[in-house]
Structure 1
């Protein structure tokens, strides 16, 4: 029997959706889902500051160093109609794919005036996105940084404020290109990173630019019909070497966030993990055979989302259901500014319906 959307639903009281970050990054709670010797998950309520105690000297944490750009812009069409533009991803030095909200869809060749500061040309459509050409005289990201706004997720019911400029970025954000933060990384501060290093664990880096498609709902009940959005990633040779050294030492590869996991597992689908860049549409469902990642640090995800499917594939559907029910009962905070989980990879159980990545 195939998986359906309802297999990944759960009840979430709306008041548990975190609307703002805690005063301190590492003050979040951490739900540790720890399988015992019989394969039964123990649920341990910890603090994120306890994370260094959960890693060993041979372990490797892999972080996503993407940086969130000012991807939201307001403006007008050449007809005078109001528009809102949300950049999906850059596709060149002066071009981008974007969502455009307008009373009437702009036509190819239309000029859009954005932020009352510059014009962009609509070059056409690429699926659900518009292909836009920005002014050639300035770097695209510099232009967005000056005139755009930080795009908070749709479930945060407020506009971005000054605090979000720093708190909706990781402390290690370097490479601009995302329209959503790799939220598992938001819990790390310099103190936690220093304690991880003191434990002897290593850190490595990759880049996956998160697109606006990450918030798109799954609209089909038959998951075999769902098509994922594309995201671009870069995996340096140093990270591949660090993973190889970790394997040789008997340590664990710990992905910090589902974005790090998606990049690593996508790059290892056709053979051994290799350095390089590419785009992935990988859709991870229960039954997926993980090649690289042994443990995962992640936030709590939306009901019926592809990320709920990913964590269910990684830690088992029954285990994730129990963990989420526990988190709701214990009043954990959910989604981007919410609390975190530490998951260990489990073998595919007989109760998990098998499926390959799509």
Structure 2
């Protein structure tokens, strides 16, 4: 079992400083890079603090070898850490659906749920370390990931996998889904494809494939910081201001596509006659847009349910980590 001295030998930092970092001492003056180095060493050596050992002992004493509760009246506890605040989640149906999937599955399995925001991680070690496992929804900084892992070794990430084999994860293959969608665009005979979205797999795939086919134009590729209607609208206006009108737009999410539609119609252009549009997610309104939006259907509610099922497996004694990829399906409608 690793000790503070082992971490000190790896990081060349005193054990007292390491202890203060682990316990989130607010009076400690230390650079963020050194703090992260210590937390990475904690992860690498799988150091377990006395507080964590006590919490693990208390948890194991509540269960027999078959995973049954000795105290049947005590409900299972689950902590969910969300990278979005409530307003951000409301504006993104994908993550709203993940939350609904988690809550529905917890309700049916009589699991008590407590939700934290990312800005509460540092001060919530006593909460995060209490349950058998923690579900982390979305995309977190390295420091946030290392802190959560320090507090609880059983993390279940949804839509990301920053710890690789050291945690459970529920994902869809962003790269493969984007590759299939961009393939449809290229096969359609598009000469001037455009992309609107974040700097992540979908963008990288779009650039890679359109460059291979000599179709890439830098002014037809707009990176937006947020997945929202307004960002899609503003990005599409920018693209329409270039010297060449695109013939197909790949909106990284259906919410962005709503803004794309608005910008196209404001310029008295037609979908799909002048510009075709494809999205990703298949939110409930996609089929009712005018015209109906062609999109890659994802399964966020099922992702939330799957994460809770992984939690129950950990409660019942599973040791090996799991990474689960859910499928996706292209839904062809009149916009493409």
Instruction: Check whether TM > 0.5.
Output: no
Q: TM-score, normalised by structure 1?
A: 0.31
Point out the structure with max Rg over C-alpha: 2
Q: Which has the higher strand share?
A: 1
Relative contact order higher in (CA < 8 Å, ≥ 6 apart): 1
Q: TM-score scaled to structure 2, two decimals? A: 0.32
